[in-house]
A and B are shown apart, each in its own frame.
Chain A
């Protein structure tokens, strides 16, 4: 149909042509300008005027057709770009499936793979790559997941019937604590990606999310359920089968940075914030000074970002791409991403006061441009005076320990 239309557009219009006859083919936007025959009770239009009107009308038609042609070309270009993108994703899927995944150990650190990884992992292999990259240091099996889940279900039953105390190894964690934890899970599940409508009561993944979080509180009663976990588990569920999601979840949370945050180890969290500020000052000195002046500390915005691994604050597709590289580079990428966000919005942020910065960073724009966003992250240097992230964290830790030994009151909490 499109060909037909554009073909016609090139045919010269005869001024003698009966306009009405042609109306079916005219662009819609001109139908309001139909040149009806004049009502009989009005005097005839002077020929000159009629001619002028006809001319004007035809010009409008030509313009409208030009616009339509332009639109059609734009659509065609978009389609081509989408096809190209789909092709490249298709190729990437092949590369991941046929070359990288079967030779994971030898290939995962090669430059070629790292570059492909940065482009974003195709959704169909994302879960597999995440699982491999996160690893299973804890040696959790599907059977262990089943055991933990069974135990969680037993607890739910006994709590809902108000029955006798369940004998558990995790003595020392009172029944009230456990009940609170299970109650919190219930409340939070419905508030996890509510707009997706899949984790809410009656949604297809409600029970899965419930099971993973419940099983985790049985697997790690010393950690229990902490807000933010539901978002992490949800993202994993979207990419992995239940038991594999549980394995990835437990191992992910077991990483030093995540453990520090989910155990709400305030001292350690401050150490991470201090390390973050070293790189903040190094990369964005002007903004850093502005934040200092306005008393804008990292705990204001980093807590939400780190606890949920950006899954709450970024659009889901972008968050998954951040997770991709987080799986590749580890915790330092979480802080690099934070600096990427600050860099991307540096100009507006420097013009804002405390409350507006705080509002902006705790509710980022929904239409974050993905390419600019990753370009901005790529521009962040994670080297400070020849020291890498891990070394800066270590130095901050040692400094804390020394102060602790000296009995610095600021760290005695």
Chain B
């Protein structure tokens, strides 16, 4: 492939979920390849940029919006959702209440944001802190698959920012779905859109990559 044929995608991704579930840690791990137990609380929004060489023809730039978790900010953070192409909703496997909040976050997201074609933005669910061994929710993968299907998640992953588990995989899954939703012929007006060449061998426990 010639270099000038390289296509660049810029995607704005939201990272949302309850306070203290590890949104900032996941982003730091993903972008800076490190982890600290001492991150400060996020107030408002923080930013990160990750560049992926998706395949020979495609560069993907991910603009990550790390949004403060307190429910009270809901009204204020709505403006941050604008024009996002995908989202991670994060919960903490050691705190069941943060899982209960997941549906609330998803509903909030879908009510404030839809793709230009009217569909909800692709969203991946992250069950974070899976290294902690207090994994009360994950024993039943089938149940989680079911949960994702019912609530419109394109996939879910057990992640650990601390141990670097599944974060790259989760991101690939989300980007794959974003690219797929973009190349949806119904809405696509670009004739030279590049079909994603996915190497399925890399996909780890992306149990729910079902397209709606």
Contact = CB atoms under 8 A, between A and B. Distances in A.
Given A188-B19, A355-B49, A308 B43 contact: yes
Contact of B75 (A188, A264, A362): A264
Contacts of B76: 264, 266, 269, 299, 303
A341 to B, nearest CB: 15
Contacts of B44: 299-301, 303-304, 307, 362
Interface string B56-72: 00000001000010111
Given A188-B19, A299-B79, A362-B47, A227 B68 contact: yes
Contacts of B43: 227-228, 231, 303-304, 307-308, 312
B20 A191 contact: yes
A187 interface: yes
Interface string A185-216: 00110011111000000000000000000000
B39 to A, nearest CB: 7
Given A264-B73, A266-B75, A303-B76, A359 B47 contact: yes
Q: Is the interface of B mostly helix, strand, loop or mixed?
A: mixed
Contact of A191 (B40, B49, B71, B75): B40
A308 B40 CA distance: 12
Interface string A320-360: 00000000000000000000000000000000000110110
Contacts of B46: 362-363
Nearest to A223: B72
Contacts of A266: 75-76
A193 B40 contact: yes
Interface string A266-310: 100100000000000000000000000000010111011001100
Contacts of B79: 297, 299
A270 B79 CA distance: 12
Interface in A211-242: 224, 226-228, 230-231
A413 interface: yes
A364 interface: no
B38 interface: yes
Contacts of B19: 184, 187-188, 227
Given A264-B73, A312-B40, A303 B45 contact: yes
A188 B41 contact: yes
A279 to B, nearest CB: 20
Which of A183, A231, A307, A362 has the largest count of B CB atoms less than 10 A from its CB? Answer: A362
B72 A264 contact: yes
Which of B44, B71, B73 has the largest count of A CB atoms less than 10 A from its CB? Answer: B44
A308 to B, nearest CB: 6
Contact of A226 (B72, B75, B97): B72
B48 interface: yes
B68 A355 contact: no
Interface in B16-64: 19-20, 38-41, 43-49, 63
A309 B143 CA distance: 45
A277 B191 CA distance: 42
A227 B41 contact: yes
Contacts of B68: 227
Contacts of B63: 355
A224 B202 CA distance: 47
Contacts of A192: 40-41
Contacts of B70: 184, 226-227
Contacts of B41: 188, 191-192, 227, 230
A40 to B, nearest CB: 57
A192 B70 CA distance: 15
A97 to B, nearest CB: 35
A310 B79 CA distance: 22
Contacts of B48: 359
A201 to B, nearest CB: 12
A359 B27 CA distance: 13
A254 B46 CA distance: 27
Contacts of A180: 71
B46 to A, nearest CB: 5
Nearest to A263: B72
B173 to A, nearest CB: 23
**What 5 A-B pairs are tightest by C-beta distance, nearest first?**
A303-B44, A194-B38, A187-B20, A191-B41, A358-B47
Interface of B: 19-20, 38-41, 43-49, 63, 68, 70-73, 75-76, 79, 97
28 contacts: A184-B19, A184-B70, A187-B20, A188-B20, A188-B41, A191-B20, A191-B39, A194-B39, A194-B40, A224-B72, A226-B72, A227-B19, A227-B43, A227-B73, A299-B44, A299-B76, A300-B44, A300-B45, A303-B45, A304-B43, A304-B44, A307-B43, A307-B44, A355-B47, A359-B49, A362-B44, A362-B47, A413-B75
Given A303-B76, A359-B49, 18 more contacts: A183-B97, A187-B19, A188-B20, A192-B40, A192-B41, A193-B40, A195-B38, A224-B72, A226-B72, A230-B41, A264-B76, A297-B79, A303-B45, A304-B43, A307-B43, A308-B43, A358-B47, A362-B47
